[in-house]
Structures are given as C-alpha cells and as structure tokens.
Structure 1
Amino acid sequence: MPESGLIDSSALPAVDVASDAPAPPWEIGEALVQHITFEIPVPNARRNLPDIVTRSAPTYGRVSMIDRSDSPVGPYREALLMVGCRVGIIPALYVVDAVVNSEAARDAIAAHWRYLPSVGEINVERDDDAITSSFDVGDGLTVTLHSPTTDAAAVAIVRYDPLLVVQPSNGSGAASEIPCEHDVRQAWLSRSSTLSYEGGSRRHPWIQLRSSNAITAVAAVEGQTIEAAAAIELTGA
C-alpha cells in the first residue's frame, strides 16, 4: 500500500492574505532557474508531507531557485523546498517551504496560490561557468546552490511536475496544483551541482530534507505563464 504523509492536513495553517496584485495568469518574460533533485530518507519525506498525499517511490526532494526578471509585482527571486509525492496517481511536488525577496511577491503568492513564503535575502551570481545562489531561509540558516553551466543541453531535459499546495478543509485537507507553462530557451545539465548549508538547527525543514544523494540537476533560462491554482479532486473525497 502507498504510504501517506504524516502531517494532519486539518491542522495545517490556513493561508488567507489580501493582495492587490493582478490575478493569474502571470506572464513572466524571462526567468533564470536552478533545480536540484536528490534522494531523501523515507521517514523524513513522510514527516513533511500531509496525510492526503502519498510519498513518491523512491523518495526525493527538490530545491529550486527562480530569478524572475519581471512579473506583475516587479522582479523577484524565489527559493522553494519541495518533496515528491502523489495525489492519487498524479505526481506532484509538495511545497514544504519557500522564501522570496519581495513583500509584494509574498503577499501575491499567498493570495493567489495559497502558500506563504517568508521574506529573506536571495543573492544570485552568474558567470560563464556557473550560477550560484544563496538564500536566507530563516532561523539563522543560509542555503547555497551552485550549478555549473558548462554543459549545454537540449531544452527538453528540463522537466516539471506541478507544484502542490494543501489547505485545511472540512476536517481534512484540500489539494490544489499551480499550473505553469515553461518556455525553456537555454538549458544546462549541471551534473556537479552542490547544495551547502550554514547554520540552522536539525528541526529546520531545510535540514531535515537536506540533499543526501543527488539524482539530477539542471539550470535554464525560460519564460513562464503561471496559471491560477486548480483544485484536485481526491479519490474517495
């Protein structure tokens, strides 16, 4: 039998934030992205997933950094910590934690897509050989993602599963996905990407879900169309 997450969905914090940002869809002209996917222990994955979804097999996490050069709320950067899961038979990436460098982006994301990033510093350095980003994820923890860009690849190498958000609803949970179209223009296979961590405590989700064994890593330049959140009907609901 598939193993469910261990978080009580009904006890998740409800996200209810007002924003005057334009409603989706959002057209993003250009975004610089880094993705690294890695193995995580089964218990750690389940502890960070709600009980209305099941864990992936094998269990994996993903860290993404997106540097959006434009948006309806201006340029902003976002770092995401996600865990692979399934909603019924649908593969998805559950958003465990996120940080943005803009209060306007935080409020818009919370209002339109129902997850609440923290606001922190996100630095990005890019040269001919690599992209390096570092982000303050709170509680004294800084995460750095280094992605070499010397190995150009076909744009089809950049693959996406939908982002998943769960909100409490009627004594259980309600799942929604965030559809996004990706117009990938350049891509790199970043085989020797690294994630490093400075500070923080063992209880921090970024530490609980830290990279153990990298599966794949890519970097890309792309356009994006971020659609409105779409409810997912749960089997047996």
Structure 2
Amino acid sequence: MPLVGTRPTTDFEHGPLLRPGGEPWVLPRVQILQVMYELEQGAMTSLLPPALHPTIPPTLVVTAWRVPESPAGPFTLAEAKVGCRSGARPRALSVRAYCDSAAAREALAARWGYPASEADIDFARRYDRCWVTVRAGGRTVLDAHLVDPEAISGADIQYLATLNTARVEREGTAAARLIQVDPEYQFHSADRGMPELLAFDGEAWGLPGADPYWPVSASYAVADVAMPELRYLVDPAKPPLAAVERLHA
C-alpha cells in the first residue's frame, strides 16, 4: 500500500493568507541555484501531511533565487523543500522559506503563498563554485554549494512545482491549504556540478528530523521566470486522491 504523510495538519494552519490576482510577474535573468540531497528514511512520512506521498528515497531540494528586478524590487529567496508526490505528480513541499526583502516577502506570500521569513542571504557565483548562505535568528541555517561547474543546456534542468503552505478563505474562515506554484522558465545559461551542503538546520526550515546525508545533484542557471496564475490547491488533511482542489480566484 502506498505510503502517505503522517504530519499533523495543525503544522500548516499558521501560514500567510493567500490573496491571488493582480498583474503577472516576469522576472528577467534570475540566478537559480538548486542542490538536492537524499534524506535519512526515518523522517520519510513525518515531514509530510496525509495528502502527500513521500518519494523513495526521500529527498531534500534546496533552491535559491537571486532576482535583480521585480515589481517588488530586487530580492533573494531561499527554500528548503521535501520531495513528494501529490497523487501521481512530483512536487516539493515548502513549509518555510527565507527572503531578504520585506516588500518581496509580502507580495510572494499574498499572491503565491510563499511562507517567507526575514533573513540575511548571501548568493554568489565564482569560477569554481556557486553558493547560498542563509542566516536567520543570529545563526547559519543553510550553506549550500555547487562545486566545479560545467556548462549544460537549460533543457537538462527540471524544477519541481512547489507546494507552499498558506491559508485560503473558505466559507468565511481561513483554511490551511498547499498552494501549487509552477513557474515557467526561459533559460539563458546553465551549469551542473557537485552538490555540497555544509550547514542545514531542519528546525529553522520547519522540517524537524530532516537529515540530508547523500548528495544527488546541483545546478545553476540564469533564466527569465514567469510567475504563474494559481490553478490548484491541496487540502493537507485529505487522502491524496481526494485532496486536490481547483482554485477560483
């Protein structure tokens, strides 16, 4: 029988309030770093709500965007997500993200449900590596690197759609939902390299018990990113095949 998450849905009841709509965002020449690791299997189901299946093996997906231009100004966004499936479709669950711009945090939370908190984020690229370091609450909660980059085609990179944890108005009350966000990418350049995770604080990312232990992949790209119109929600408390809802903005 397929495994499903066992995480209490009360963990998702304090996300941002979603207010979809407004002008579309197209973000030019975003720098994107992604690092993937396998997780120890002990937390395979405890990181996910009942609406989601774990991947086998379980995975941690670290993604960072350095955005030079947006309607909310420049910003850097960092996420640490758990690989999963919503029904049969691969997704990545984001319980907490970090962003270095107050204006961007507010806009990303309201329009796409990003559960972003304040942090100092260092995103840099050199000839021999690319890295993102996140400091929140006076400590380093993430330090992820791509080492020894080699040029590839952007067609070789695939990003999972994210499920952000937020609240949505339902019959006069704000109900917890997972918000499917699947941007479109037009690549200018791309690299792959060796992944290296020097620091990761699972508690700080809302992922208690997440223990990344085996490097899988790392990529860096420059792309134009089109933020999507939201279409689907997931009720975290329902079984996977009954959990998906159509969003009517």
Once structures 1 and 2 are overlaid, which stretch shifts more, 78-87 or 224-233? 224-233
Unaligned runs of 5+ residues in structure 1 are none
Q: Which residue of 2 aligns with 1:181?
A: 184
Identity over the aligned pairs, expressed in percent? 21
Distance in 2 of aligned mates of 1:195 and 1:149? 14
Q: How does 1:76-91 map to 2 (within 5 A)?
A: 76-91=75-90
Indicate how the Cα distance of structure 1 residues 141 and 47 shifts in structure 2: closer, same or farther if over 3 A, else same.
Answer: farther
Deviation, structure 1 residue 181: 0.2
| CA deviation profile, 1:86-140 (whole Å, cap 9, x unmatched) | 1111110111321000111111111111232111100122222222221114462
| CA deviation profile, 1:206-228 (whole Å, cap 9, x unmatched) | 67334310111111111100113
Q: How does 1:21-36 map to 2 (within 5 A)?
A: 23=22, 25-36=24-35
Are 2:141 and 1:142 equivalent residues in the alignment?
Answer: yes
Distance in 1 of aligned mates of 2:23 and 2:233? 18
Question: How large is the RMSD of aligned CA atoms in angstroms?
Answer: 2.8
Aligned length: 233
Q: Which residue of 2 aligns with 1:12?
A: 12
Aligned partners of 1:24 and 1:227 also within 8 Å = no
TM-score between both structures, scaled by the size of structure 1: 0.86
The SS at the match of 1:74 is: coil
Once structures 1 and 2 are overlaid, which stretch shifts more, 6-15 or 96-105? 6-15
Aligned partners of 1:35 and 1:65 also within 8 Å = yes
The SS at the match of 1:235 is: helix
Q: How does 1:1-237 map to 2 (within 5 A)?
A: 1-17=1-17, 23=22, 25-138=24-137, 140-148=139-147, 150-167=149-166, 174-190=177-193, 192-197=194-199, 203-205=203-205, 208-232=209-233, 235-236=241-242
Distance in 2 of aligned mates of 1:129 and 1:141? 22
The one-letter code sitting in structure 1 at the alignment partner of 2:198 is: S
The SS at the match of 1:15 is: coil
Aligned partners of 1:50 and 1:166 also within 8 Å = no
Distance in 2 of aligned mates of 1:45 and 1:23? 37
Distance in 1 of aligned mates of 2:95 and 2:10? 16
The one-letter code sitting in structure 1 at the alignment partner of 2:220 is: A
The one-letter code sitting in structure 1 at the alignment partner of 2:86 is: V
The structure richer in strand per residue is: 2
Q: Which residue of 1 aligns with 2:247?
A: none
TM-score between both structures, scaled by the size of structure 2: 0.82
Aligned partners of 1:144 and 1:197 also within 8 Å = yes
Aligned partners of 1:131 and 1:146 also within 8 Å = yes
Distance in 2 of aligned mates of 1:72 and 1:149? 34
The one-letter code sitting in structure 1 at the alignment partner of 2:230 is: A
Indicate how the Cα distance of structure 1 residues 12 and 232 shifts in structure 2: closer, same or farther if over 3 A, else same.
Answer: closer
Deviation, structure 1 residue 168: 6.2
The SS at the match of 2:152 is: coil
